[in-house]
Amino acid sequence: MNITAILEEIYTEIEPYLTERRVADYIPMLGRVDSNQFGMAVCTNDGDEYVIGSAQKNFSIQSVSKVFTFAMAYELLGQSLWKRVGKEPSGTKFNSLILLEQEKGIPRNPFINAGALVIADILMEHYKDPYKEVLKYIHELSGNPNIVINEEMKKSELDYANINYALTYFMKSFSNINSHVPEVVDFYSAHCSIEMSCVDLARAFRLFSQAGKNPWTGEKMLTKSQTKHINAIMMTSGLYNSVGDFAYRVGLPAKSGVGGAIVGVLPGEMSIAVWSPGLDANGNSFAGIKALELFTNKTELSIY
C-alpha cells in the first residue's frame, strides 16, 4: 500500500474543507489560530512514518491529553478506577452538566470534561508533582523531550473555565473530588494546554496500537486487556456526541480535542494523527474527520 500517495490524495481532496469553519473561541487564545491549516501523520507498527501538510507544527492538544491522563490513572488504579468514573458514552456535549445530577457525581466516561477532571484529581492524589509526571509520560511516549505546557494557553483557558469549575464543585459535593477544586481545574487546564505536533501524537499513540508496549523500548506499560479497554473507550466516547457518526464514517478508536486534533489507532497496525483547527458543531475537527474518513476508505482499513 502506498501511504504517501494516499496522504497526498487526501491533502488535495481536503483543501475545499479548510476554509469557512470556525475555530474554538470560547478559549480566547485558541480563537486566534488560523483555521485553514492541516497536517497528518501515520506511524506503522513496523516503524515507518508518513507525513503531509503541517505535520510537524505544534498545536494545543486539548482533550487528546485526556487519553494520556486516563492511561496513567488506569495503570495506577486498575479496575478500582471505575468506582469514580463510568465507561458509557454520554451523548452530550463535552462539558455538559446535565447527567451529573442524575448520576450522583459519577461522570459517564473519562473523556468528557467531568470524567477528565476526576482523572486529574486521581493523579493529584498519587503524585507530588502531577504536572511533571504527565509531561514525563508524554516525553517518554512521543520521544520528544521538548514538549511543554503553553502557560499562556492555560491562563486563557482558566480565565473562561466557569463550567469546568462548576463541574468540579458539583462532583465535590458528591465526594468524587478530593483535592481543592481550583487546583484540580488548574492541573486539568495545564494538561489540556500541552502543545504537540501530529508526528508527536502519532508516535505516542503507538502505545495503543502496539498492545501497551512502549513505542521506543518495547517495554510493557499497559497489559493487552488495559489497552483493549482504553481503545474501546476511545471508540465509544472519544468524539463526544458524534461517536456514532465517527464510527460509521471512520471506523477507528480515536480521541479529538477542540484544538483541532484527532488521533486514532488501528490496533496491531498503526496510529494516525490529524490536525485542522476548524471545528464542527460538536467541537471536533471538521476537516480532520473528513481526512480520516478518506484514509480508511482509501486504505480499506478499519476495525470493522
Between CA 150 and CA 119 the distance in angstroms is: 21
Q: How far are the Cα atoms of 74, 135, 198 from residue 41, in angstroms, in the given order? A: 27, 21, 6
Verify whether residue 188 is a known catalytic residue. yes
Specify whether 74 is catalytic.
no
Catalytic residue among 60, 63, 65, 271: 63
Tell me how far, at minimum, the Cβ of 157 lies from ligand GLN, in Å.
5
**Binding region for ligand GLN (CB under 6 A):** 62-63, 94-95, 113, 157, 164, 192, 257-258, 283
The burial of 14, by beta-carbon neighbours within 10 Å (0-12 exposed, 13-18 middle, 19 or more buried), is given as buried
Query: Smallest distance, Å, CB 268 to ligand GLN?
Result: 28
Reply yes or no on whether 185 is catalytic.
no
What is the distance between the alpha carbons of residues 228 and 206, in angstroms, rounded to a whole number?
13
In order, the DSSP letters of 199-260 are HHHHHHTHHHHTTTB-TTT--B-S-HHHHHHHHHHHHHHTTGGGHHHHHHHT-S-EEE-TTS
The amino acid present at 92, given as its one-letter code, is T
Q: Which of 17, 50, 137, 240 is catalytic?
A: 240
> Closest CB to ligand GLN among 257 and 267?
257
The reply to whether 17 belongs to the active site is no
Query: How far apart, in Å, are the Cα atoms of 218 and each of 42, 47, 52, 68, 134?
Result: 19, 12, 27, 18, 20
Nearer residue to ligand GLN within complex by CB, 215 or 259 = 259
Residue number of the CB closest to ligand GLN reads 63
In the residue annotation, 169 being an active-site residue is answered as: no
Identify which of residues 253 and 283 has a Cβ nearer to ligand GLN in the complex.
283
The least distance separating ligand GLN from the CB of residue 120, rounded to whole angstroms, comes to 11
Nearest distance, CB of residue 31 and ligand GLN, angstroms? 13
Which residues are catalytically annotated? 63, 66, 188, 240, 258
